[in-house]
Structure 1
Amino acid sequence: MSDVVIYHNPACGTSRNTLALLREKGIEPTVVEYLKAGWTRPQLEGLLKRLGLTARDLLRVRGTQAHELGLTDPVASDEALIAAMILDPILVERPIVVTAKGAAVCRPADLVLTLL
C-alpha cells in the first residue's frame, strides 16, 4: 500500500508501535515528525475533517500544558484549540495515520489495521 502517512512522535511508545506494525505489514509510510515539522491551520483542519473529529477530540491533555493553558475548559473554542496546536504541536494526540481507506488516531496501535 502506498501513500500511507503517519504523524509520528518517536518519543511515544504507541506511535513507535504503530510505525512498527505498519512496517511488519510491509508498508513503509511517509513519516512526519510533527513536533519538528509543526502544523499549519489548513493541515489540521483537513485532518480533523478526514478524521471526523473536533479539535477538542484531537487535543492531547496528558503530558502537555493543555489544562494550564485553559484548553480543557469546555468554553474553549475549536479556533482557540487549533491556534494552540499550531503554536505547540505536542497538543495534538498521536499517532495519526492516513491511508486511502481513511484516517485514525491509532490509540491503541492496532487500530491502524482498520486502515489497511
Structure 2
Amino acid sequence: MKATIWHNPKCGTSRKTMAILEETPGVDLTVIEYLKNPPTRAKLEQLFGDAGITPQEGLRVRGSPAEELGLTKDDATADQILDAMAEDSSLINRPLVETDKGVRLCRPQELVQEIL
C-alpha cells in the first residue's frame, strides 16, 4: 500500500505517525516535509475533502499566525483559509496522511490506523 505523509520532523505527533507507517508491513511511504515543499491550494482542498474535514478543522492555530491573520474568527471563509495556507504552510495542521483508503489528519496519531 502506498502512503504519503505531510510531515514536520519537529512535531512529536507527526514523528509518531510516521513511525506507525514505517513499522506497518507493506507500506510504501512517501514523506513530504510540507514546510519545505508545501501542497498547492488544490491539493489542500482535495486532502481536506477526502478527509471529510473543513479547512477550518485543518487550520493550525497554535504556533502559527492564524489568529493575527483573522483566520480563527467565525466569519473567516474556507477560501480565505485555503489561500492563507497556500501562502504560509505553517498554517496547515499536521500530520496529514493519504493512502488508497482515504486521508486523515492524524491527531492523535492512532487515527492513521483507519486508512491502513
Q: Same fold (TM over 0.5)?
A: yes
How big is the shift at 1:6?
0.5
How big is the shift at 1:49?
1.3
> How far apart, in 2, do the equivalents of 1:61 and 1:96 lie?
16
Aligned equivalent of 1:13: 12
How big is the shift at 1:52?
1.2
Query: What's the % identity of the aligned pairs?
Result: 48
How big is the shift at 1:71?
0.5
Moved over 2 A (4+): none
How big is the shift at 1:101?
1.1
- Over aligned residues, Cα RMSD in angstroms? 1.0
Name the structure where helix makes up a greater proportion of residues: 1
Q: Match of 1:11, as an amino acid?
A: K
How big is the shift at 1:115?
1.0
Residues 102-113 of structure 1: matches in 2 within 5 Å?
102-113=102-113
Q: Cα deviations across residues 53-81 of structure 1 (Å, max 9, x unaligned)?
A: 11111101011111111100110111110
SS in 1 for 2:35: helix
> How far apart, in 2, do the equivalents of 1:101 and 1:38 lie?
22
Aligned equivalent of 1:57: 57
Q: Cα deviations across residues 11-32 of structure 1 (Å, max 9, x unaligned)?
A: 1000000001111113341111
Gaps of 5+ in 2: none
> How far apart, in 1, do the equivalents of 2:34 and 2:78 lie?
20
Q: Cα deviations across residues 79-98 of structure 1 (Å, max 9, x unaligned)?
A: 11011101110111100111
How big is the shift at 1:40?
1.1
How big is the shift at 1:100?
1.1
Q: Match of 2:22, as an amino acid?
A: R
- TM-score, length-scaled by structure 1: 0.94
Report the count of equivalent residues: 115
Residues 27-106 of structure 1: matches in 2 within 5 Å?
27-106=27-106
> How far apart, in 2, do the equivalents of 1:23 and 1:70 lie?
37
